[in-house]
Chain A
Amino acid sequence: DAGITQSPRHKVTETGTPVTLRCHQTENHRYMYWYRQDPGHGLRLIHYSYGVKDTDKGEVSDGYSVSRSKTEDFLLTLESATSSQTSVYFCAISARLAGKSSYEQYFGPGTRLTVT
């Protein structure tokens, strides 16, 4: 258990409204990621963070912004939601478990967002 929670778990919003999704981790992991999952696309990286206030764009960053003011929280904001942003959003952290030589990414439970 990598101690990742996401909120809200489900949200329905209207086109044009701002939306913020929250990812919270309890174990001080430095690296955090936001992905979206869509049918026929697998998971695609939106943004990632390598420390407080240090973020960078992923593969599908248009229309999204992120912020990380504390190690434990990574926020994903849709400034003006569109129907194409209807998706399931997953947060992930990078961690190396005890006894392992490499890092793996561990995912939160996801947020299902519907934009009407």
Chain B
Amino acid sequence: DQQVKQNSPSLSVQEGRISILNCDYTNSMFDYFLWYKKYPAEGPTFLISISSIKDKNEDGRFTVFLNKSAKHLSLHIVPSQPGDSAVYFCAASANSGGSNYKLTFGKGTLLTVNP
């Protein structure tokens, strides 16, 4: 049973436009959510996170929105740049961002930003 779902395996956008990556979860115990970016042959890189007590978190061009009632979160990248082309993983945990928590990952979405 997949607890974190990224239903779009791939997404293609034009440079300068908005990229929206979506993630759904089923486990009501999840209270901390993260997005990671991964380039080929590298480890995942932490991008941004959000606690369930918030519905939005911004960091530069990246914004994560959380809709708890829908068990849905999304990552917005504005404006998109070719260097943003990577696989994006959504992850969730049930430990409120404490020191020790196990992450459950989605399968990832490949974002391609075309010049």
Contact = CB atoms under 8 A, between A and B. Distances in A.
Given A42-B105, A44-B105, A102-B51, A107 B89 contact: no
Nearest to A43: B105
A103 B41 CA distance: 25
B107 A105 contact: no
Interface stretch (B13-21, B66-74, B76-84, B95-103): B95-103
B45 A94 contact: no
Contacts of B102: 33, 45, 48, 58
B43 A40 contact: no
A4 to B, nearest CB: 8
A107 B100 contact: no
Given A42-B89, A109-B42, A50 B100 contact: yes
Contact of B49 (A90, A94, A104): A104
B34 interface: yes
A65 B91 CA distance: 24
A103 B99 contact: yes
Contacts of B107: 40-42
Contacts of B34: 104-105
B99 A109 contact: no
Interface of A: 4, 30-31, 33, 35, 40-45, 48, 50, 58-59, 90, 94, 96, 101-110
16 contacts: A33-B103, A35-B105, A42-B4, A42-B89, A48-B100, A50-B100, A90-B43, A94-B99, A102-B49, A102-B96, A103-B98, A105-B101, A105-B103, A107-B36, A109-B43, A110-B41
Given A43-B44, A102-B51, A109-B42, 5 more contacts: A45-B104, A106-B46, A107-B36, A107-B44, A108-B43
